[in-house]
Amino acid sequence: MIRIESIRKSFDEVEVLKGVSASFEQGKTNLIIGKSGAGKTVMLKILVGLLRPTAGDIWYDQTNFGQLDKRQLRELRMDVGMLFQGSALFDSMTVEENVRFPLDMFTNKTAKEKLDRVNYCLERVNLEGVNRKYPSETSGGMQKRIGIARSIVLEPKYLFCDEPNSGLDPTTALLIDELIVDITRENNITTVINTHDMNSVMEIGDNIILLHLGELTWTGNKDEVLESDNQVLQDFIFASPFLQRLRRAALSSSGE
């Protein structure tokens, strides 16, 4: 479980996060949603330690993230996996080398053990026979899956995904979502996903926090989205007239 308390972040005079407190639960897919500029990416970067908050605390289970020295931080990061928006695969390495990189850097496994683990992770994301390919020889969806394979290769306790569906067609986006949910449940890890994808919200949102202009505006889950009166949430999720009609239809058919 990850807990954040009164997180604030300012860049010069601009306050991007204004005292956000929330919990991200273990074994669930926790979504941070919000419009562009709401502070989602800053929040995710603070959670993984790429940015330091101006104020506030981050707790990884019982560990206060901000109090760790460099060595402790590095140890904690062994338990963290992250899928980047652009996948962040190393272009000059093959798929196998990309996935193997954390194993090479941090473990003393034999070559065979590493290969077995790499192959297991690639199979887990439904990618086989691509070991020798370079990232540029794979599709966007495959790159996301390679990114997931790399992020789980060290068996992390915490998984962060930044816009996992961006740039993907709806079918592939759903597959990626399902994959993340399955991996979260199988390994009982704390997964935090930064997204503004409507389908993701309605399909995999076990625990959702909505950011609006740097403030926490709404928390709930996918089942509560439809019935919520929160105007910011409704404006965000059901932005188009078509979706608004769909919502009205869904509500009337459920008896409201």
Among 105, 110, 136, 252, binds another protein (CB under 8 A): 105
Q: Which of 88/198 has CB closer to another protein?
A: 88
Which of 37, 64, 67, 104 is the binder for another protein (CB under 8 A)?
A: 104
Spell out, one character per residue from 39 to 58, where the chain touches another protein: x when CB under 8 A holds, - when not: ---------xxx--------
Minimum CB separation of residue 223 from another protein in Å reads: 32
Q: Which of 63, 106, 124, 185 binds another protein (CB under 8 A)?
A: 106
CA–CA gap between residue 40 and residue 97 (Å, rounded):
31
Write the binding mask 163 to 202 for another protein: x where contact by CB under 8 A, - elsewhere.
----------------------------------------
Q: For residues 54-93, which are near another protein according to CB under 8 A?
A: 73-75, 77-78, 80-82, 84-86, 88, 90-91
Q: Is 1 in the site for another protein (CB under 8 A)?
A: no
Of residues 7 and 47, the one with the C-beta less far from another protein: 47
Residues lying near another protein in the complex (CB under 8 A) are found at 48-50, 73-75, 77-78, 80-82, 84-86, 88, 90-91, 101-102, 104-106, 154, 160
